[in-house]
Amino acid sequence: MARIEKMSILGVRSFGVEDKDKQIISFFNPLTVLVGPNGAGKTTIIECLKYVTAGEFPPGSKGNTFVHDPKDAHETEVRAQIRLQFTDLNGEKVAVQRSMQSTQKGKKTPEFKTLEGVITRIKYGEKVSLSSKCAELDREMISALGVSKAVLDHVIFCHQEESNWPLGEGKALKTKFDAIFSATRYIKVLETLRQLRLKQSNQVRECQVELKFLKLNKEKAKEIRDLLSTKETQLASSKETVQKIDGQIEPLENRLADIDDNLGKVMKLDNEIKALDSRKRQMEEDNQELEEKMEQVFQGSDEQLQEIYQNHQRTVKEKERKLTDSQRDVERASDLLVEQGRLQLESDQHTQNIKARDSQVRALAAYLEMEGYDRTPFNDRQLQSFHLQVQERLDQETEAAEQVMRDMQEKEALKQRSIDEIRDKKTSLESTMELKKDLQNKKQQELKNVRSGLQRLEGSSTRLQELEMELTNAERELESAVESSNVDGLKAEVLELQKSKAELERKLRQLDQEMETLNTHTSVRTQMDMLKKDKTDKEEQVRKIKSRHNEDLVSLLGHFPNKKELEDWIHAKSKEIKSTREKLAKINKELASGEQNKRHCSVEIRRKEQQLAGYEEKVFNVCGSQDFQQDLGKLQEDLEKTSKQRAMLAGATAVYTQFISQLTDEGEPCCPVCQRVFPSEAELQDVISDMQSKLRLVPDKLKNTEQDLKKKERRKDEMMALKPIRQSIVELKEKELPELRNRLQNVNRDIERLKGDVEEQETLLSTQMSEEDTAKACLQDISLMDRYQMDLRDVERKIAQQAAKLQGVDLSRTIQQVSQEKQETQHCLDTTSSKMEMKRKMIQDQQDQIQTLKSSVNEIRGEKLQISSDMQKQQQLEQQCVEMTAEIQTLHRDLREAKEQMAPLSATLEKLQQERNDLISRRKQKQQEGQEKVPATSPFTLVLIHALAWPILSQKEAELQELNTQLHEAEKNKEKINKDIGNIRQDIDTQKVQERWLQDNLTLRKRIEELKEVIRKHESLMRNGEHVLILKNPPRRFQFSERRMEDLKKNRSVALGRQKGFEEEIIRFRKELREDQYGKADERFRDKMIVMRTTELANKDLDIYYKEPKIKTVLYWGCCHWTLFYYPNSMCC
């Protein structure tokens, strides 16, 4: 039996909050009597015992008034603690501690907070503490004391204000007794047991109905497994048959493959023979055309022809070498003429440069005011003297400018140092002023705060009067709240709600009885629902299969077929596919032959086109176009014009030279053409200068004309050599290539026709195979759909049987309707209960309002005490205000003095900066004046460039005289060389024609050898092709093998078709076994049987155990416990 021993109290009600105020009370056994005057704390001890054991506060208190008032303790936070030591049901020592906290914040109601509780036990000689929240702590205390919370609240630790509850109203008294003896829990247990037994009885009946269907599914699954085993045996036998047929087909296929390979080789050999025949004819035609173009065919041997060709090549190279040497001599003479003109031009230009130099020297001397340089031309000594004087003048001006700049820079540096010193002083004063300003602002802010505090204190007396008025009003409101509370009226409403709740509970029991009556027809309905569900599932499966394959099958057959129709259609489609494959193989053989002919024609055309492109490229490289005759005639005209121009320029040189000599040597010169005497010397000099300038241009023109003439002659030789190539181009374009292209075009047309046939047959074959695959894919689902339709007919028959059993039964009120009405009644019952709780809450709220008003009165009293203590600090704040005012005035005076020192420093700094800027401006001006005094040196540089012009001029005149001598000798040999060049070119043209004839003979000999090689290959292929006729017409044994092969393949296809049917049946059976209906039929039947038997046994136990004898035993023990609670040796206070 549990027994309390000691309890300590701290910070509760009037008990103090200091450690010295803690009070400890020890309890005696079996009885402890508390004696004392009113206010001694007897009730507080009972309240503490109730709180520490059950966690319940006294009536009308939420904890705020239970803890010591913080205002009375002059603290913002007060903590209360209750500790209890007792012995639990097991005889072990247990200590429990509960803590609370109340915090006062301003004028608000104190905030109450419950802290964590601690339970301490002694295990194995050591203390074990467990921190726990309130709910967990309450459960631990109930378990340790061995009594319920209701017993602790209403019996053991009943408050004196509620001690007369046994004299209360009947309903409230019944509620408390039910809570004390836990009668409600026993009633709920009985109701739960009744509902559970009823529910399990319904479950047993449902299990019995389901077991019938599950047993059918189990038997059906066994039948499907037997069929699956049979089909697998038949499939294995069919596979063995297919393997035997494959063993017979393999050697026949190898033999027929060898025949096909040999036939392919024969076709290839036949194509090669045809290609060689075509090539042979083409080469014979080419040789005949070449012989017709040749004037005479060389009759000697190949060695003689090769020797003649090599000798001819050596002769041509020797003549070309002589031609090159002669042309080089002519070019050398032309180069001499060009060099003469260049030297004469350089001489004239040098004379002009000397005149310009003297003019620039004279201008520079005048600019520098130097004497002795007025007359031109100047000699080398004068120029050197001028150079020394100019350099000396330039050095003097530069030194003077640099000295002035150094003086100005020293003055600038002195000014800058003065500016830096004054700027440092100014910066120091500014930082001092900033510090004092910050200190002044800080003091002013502190002074402002002190003054605001004084102002608040000045208004405290007014606030004190206001608080007295508020206290009076709060006390008045408290009295009115006590008078206006209607707790009795709310309690009367609660009684009315309790009557409504009883009526609803009676109606709920009636609905339970009606639902039990309706459950008698549950088995038949359950069977009907399961059958309808099964029918819906199978109809959905059939619908899915039809929707999945309806479009494909209707497009193939025109309607939705059954299994037999679909199998017949697939067999017919297989025959069509076989016929199409045979046609496709035949067309492919024809196409291969056509492709071989096409490749041969393409190779010939490509070779001819390459040959034609090579010839045309040679013609284009030489002529610049493909119009050979027009280009050749135009080239001959250009050669004649260029030759005439060259002769004219060669004669002009001699004529101009003779005219200049006549005008220079004669005493009274006259015009060599019109014999007119020149009236003045100036006119004569102009004529001579004009002739000399034209004579200087003649060598360049003559050289360019000769080079152009050589290029045109070389081009003419090349064009003459292209005449045979031009003839070959015409033949290729007009005869050979058109014939080959027509032949290729015919072959391409045949190939395109065959390709179209191949594509058509392939498209047809792919379409047929696709249709066959689609039909085969649908076959399995069609078989499954037939089985579903058979099952549907069985299910519909069973549904009709169950419907016949339900005829004559009144089913206007279903279980769902009764269940819905029961739920609505239960909802009304819950609503009534919630209204009752709301009324009770209103009673509690009015009690809380009264308690809140009491707390507000206490707060106003506390604030009144606080203002009284603050008014005593007013004198100290006034003293601080006077001291801060004096410090601020001192800082203000220091700032004014610093500003007075700052003004002259700023003025001095601005003046020094202005003087430094003036010095910089004067320095820049001096620097610019010095640069203007130093003259530009470009004229002087030009003087130095032309200082050594006289030696260069003498050297160029000597070179010009030597060149004139060489030119005179070259003119004498030039005519002879030009004549030799003409003869050599004529010999070379003759040799080119002979070389072309020799090349044609060599080409003819080479083609004859190639023709012989082609004839040899053709004869060899003809010898190898003797078996062509034999292989094209195979013997009878090959035909017999083909027929045998077709029969075996037909038998193999039939066996594969049966095998495919077996596989589809096996897949269908396996798919059915994988479905939940049959796959888990045995397991579901076993599980459902176990559930039914265990539920029956559990129901039987409930009927046996919870009958009247057990209820009587429970009530007997309840009476015993009631007596035990009031036994004298029990725990009491």
Structure tokens at 348: 């004239």
CA distance 612 to 626: 12
Q: For 676, which DSSP code?
A: P
Q: Has residue 326 been placed in a domain?
A: no
Facing residues of 119 across strands? 96, 130
Kindly state whether residues 494 and 584 are assigned to the same domain: no
Residue 524 pLDDT class (50, 70, 90 cuts): low
Structure tokens at 220: 């059906």
CA distance 653 to 526: 138
Q: Is the whole-model pTM more than 0.75? A: no
Query: What pLDDT is attached to residue 640?
Result: 78
- Chosen domain end from 176, 211, 237: 176
Residue 466 pLDDT class (50, 70, 90 cuts): confident
Q: For 670, which DSSP code?
A: B
Kindly state whether residues 139 and 35 are assigned to the same domain: yes
Tell me the one-letter amino acid at 834.
Answer: S
3-state helix, strand, coil in the chain (%, to 5): 80, 5, 15
Query: What pLDDT is attached to residue 83?
Result: 93
Residue 908 has pLDDT above 60, yes or no: yes
What CA dihedral angle connects 556, 559, 560 and 561, to 10 degrees? Answer: -80
CA distance 80 to 110: 14
Residue 9 pLDDT class (50, 70, 90 cuts): very high
Q: For 110, which DSSP code?
A: P
Q: Has residue 392 been placed in a domain?
A: no
CA distance 255 to 386: 118
Neighbours of 1078 (CB within 10 A): 20
Q: Has residue 1027 been placed in a domain?
A: no
Query: What pLDDT is attached to residue 1029?
Result: 44
What are the pLDDT digits (tens) for 649-685?
Answer: 666 666 667 667 766 766 556 666 666 666 667 777 7
Kindly state whether residues 569 and 454 are assigned to the same domain: no
- CB-CB contact of 3 with 1131 (8 Å): yes
Kindly state whether residues 790 and 854 are assigned to the same domain: no
Query: In this predicted structure, which of 53-57, 499-503, 1034-1038 has the lowest mean pLDDT?
Result: 1034-1038
- Alpha-carbon distances, residue 883 vs 435, 450, 850, 872 (angstroms): 20, 11, 52, 20
Q: Name the burial class of residue 568, with classes exposed (0-12), middle (13-18) and buried (19+) by CB atoms within 10 angstroms of its CB.
A: exposed
- CB-CB contact of 505 with 188 (8 Å): no
| Sign for the pseudo-dihedral over CA of 456, 458, 461, 462 | negative
Query: What pLDDT is attached to residue 791?
Result: 79
Q: What average pLDDT does the segment 909-926 reach?
A: 76
Kindly state whether residues 758 and 887 are assigned to the same domain: no
Neighbours of 187 (CB within 10 A): 11
How much of the chain, in percent, has pLDDT values that exceed 70?
A: 74
H-helix or E-strand spanning residue 293: helix 183-293
What are the pLDDT digits (tens) for 700-748?
Answer: 777 777 777 777 777 677 667 666 777 777 777 777 778 888 888 888 8
CA distance 1116 to 1124: 12
Residue 938 pLDDT class (50, 70, 90 cuts): very low
What are the pLDDT digits (tens) for 245-265?
Answer: 888 878 877 777 777 777 667
Facing residues of 79 across strands? 101
Query: What pLDDT is attached to residue 627?
Result: 62
Among 802, 212, 803, 826, CA closest to 515: 826
CA distance 205 to 1024: 96
- CB-CB contact of 282 with 1007 (8 Å): no
Q: Has residue 399 been placed in a domain?
A: no
- CB-CB contact of 336 with 972 (8 Å): no
Structure tokens at 736: 């050979």
Structure tokens at 400: 């003077």
Q: Prior bond to 37 cis, omega within 30?
A: no
Torsion-angle region of residue 63: left (phi > 0), alpha (psi -120 to 50) or beta?
Answer: left
Residue scoring higher pLDDT (63 or 44): 44
Strand 77-87 relative to strand 23-26: parallel, antiparallel, unpaired?
unpaired
Q: Has residue 551 been placed in a domain?
A: no
How much of the chain, in percent, has pLDDT values that exceed 90?
A: 2
Q: Has residue 952 been placed in a domain?
A: no
CA distance 105 to 31: 44
Q: Has residue 947 been placed in a domain?
A: no
Residue 82 has phi, psi (to 5 degrees) of -125, 125
Residue scoring higher pLDDT (172 or 1114): 172
Facing residues of 26 across strands? 6
Buried b / exposed e along 350-386 (16+ C-beta atoms within 10 A)? eeeebeebbebbbebbeeeeeeebeeeebeeebbeeb
- Chosen domain end from 811, 835, 867: 811
H-helix or E-strand spanning residue 5: strand 3-10
Among 1115, 868, 945, CA closest to 190: 1115
The size of the chain, in residues, is: 1133
- Chosen domain end from 784, 811, 838: 811
Residue 1026 has pLDDT above 60, yes or no: no
Kindly state whether residues 508 and 572 are assigned to the same domain: no
Among 908, 905, 906, 927, CA closest to 916: 908
Q: Name the burial class of residue 411, with classes exposed (0-12), middle (13-18) and buried (19+) by CB atoms within 10 angstroms of its CB.
A: middle
Kindly state whether residues 160 and 23 are assigned to the same domain: yes
- CB-CB contact of 94 with 88 (8 Å): yes
Residue 34 has pLDDT above 60, yes or no: yes
Tell me the one-letter amino acid at 41.
Answer: G
Q: What average pLDDT does the segment 1008-1024 reach?
A: 74
Cα-to-chain-centroid distance, residue 151: 71
What are the pLDDT digits (tens) for 296-323?
Answer: 666 767 777 677 767 777 777 777 777 7
Residue with tokens 């190639």: 1010
Q: For 127, which DSSP code?
A: E
Kindly state whether residues 147 and 204 are assigned to the same domain: no
Among 1085, 829, 902, CA closest to 217: 1085
Structure tokens at 923: 């320095």
Query: What pLDDT is attached to residue 82?
Result: 92
Rounded to a whole number, what is the largest CA-CA distance in the chain?
A: 185
Kindly state whether residues 848 and 798 are assigned to the same domain: no
Query: What pLDDT is attached to residue 456?
Result: 67
Coil, strand or helix at 906: helix
Coil, strand or helix at 7: strand
CATH number at residue 58: 3.40.50.300
Query: What pLDDT is attached to residue 1033?
Result: 46
Structure tokens at 987: 């010999």
| Sign for the pseudo-dihedral over CA of 741, 745, 748, 754 | negative
What are the pLDDT digits (tens) for 755-790?
Answer: 888 888 888 888 878 777 787 777 777 777 777 778
Q: Prior bond to 59 cis, omega within 30?
A: no
What are the pLDDT digits (tens) for 606-619?
Answer: 888 887 787 777 77
Query: What pLDDT is attached to residue 324?
Result: 76
Kindly state whether residues 588 and 647 are assigned to the same domain: yes
Residue 181 has pLDDT above 60, yes or no: yes
Kindly state whether residues 1050 and 1106 are assigned to the same domain: yes
- CB-CB contact of 516 with 198 (8 Å): yes
- CB-CB contact of 447 with 895 (8 Å): no
Facing residues of 114 across strands? 100
Query: What pLDDT is attached to residue 322?
Result: 73
Q: For 1107, which DSSP code?
A: S
Q: What average pLDDT does the segment 866-871 reach?
A: 68
**HEC profile of 400-469:** HHHHHHHHHHHHHHHHHHHHHHHHHHHHHHHHHHHHHHHHHHHHHHHHHHHHHHHHHHHCHHHHHHHHHH
Q: Has residue 924 been placed in a domain?
A: no
Range of the domain at 272: 187-290+1034-1121
Torsion-angle region of residue 719: left (phi > 0), alpha (psi -120 to 50) or beta?
Answer: alpha
Residue 14 has phi, psi (to 5 degrees) of -90, 0
Angle between helices 1036-1074 and 737-805 (to 10 degrees): 40
Residue 129 has phi, psi (to 5 degrees) of -105, 145
What are the pLDDT digits (tens) for 80-116?
Answer: 999 999 988 888 889 999 998 888 887 777 888 888 8
Kindly state whether residues 571 and 472 are assigned to the same domain: no
Residue 474 has pLDDT above 70, yes or no: yes
Q: For 977, which DSSP code?
A: H
- CB-CB contact of 234 with 1062 (8 Å): yes
- CB-CB contact of 927 with 448 (8 Å): no
Cα-to-chain-centroid distance, residue 386: 83
What are the pLDDT digits (tens) for 378-391?
Answer: 777 777 777 777 77
Query: In this predicted structure, which of 144-153, 578-587, 938-947 has the lowest mean pLDDT?
Result: 938-947
Mean pLDDT of the chain: 75
Residue with tokens 């023109």: 701
Query: What pLDDT is attached to residue 26?
Result: 92
Among 574, 564, 1073, CA closest to 783: 564
CA distance 313 to 738: 38
Residue 948 pLDDT class (50, 70, 90 cuts): very low
Residue 57 pLDDT class (50, 70, 90 cuts): confident
Residue 66 has pLDDT above 60, yes or no: yes
Total domains in the fold of the chain: 4
Residue 1113 pLDDT class (50, 70, 90 cuts): low
Facing residues of 6 across strands? 26, 85
Query: What pLDDT is attached to residue 954?
Result: 59
Please tell me which of 368-372, 841-845, 936-940, 987-991 the model is most confident about, judged by mean pLDDT. 841-845
CA distance 211 to 1086: 9
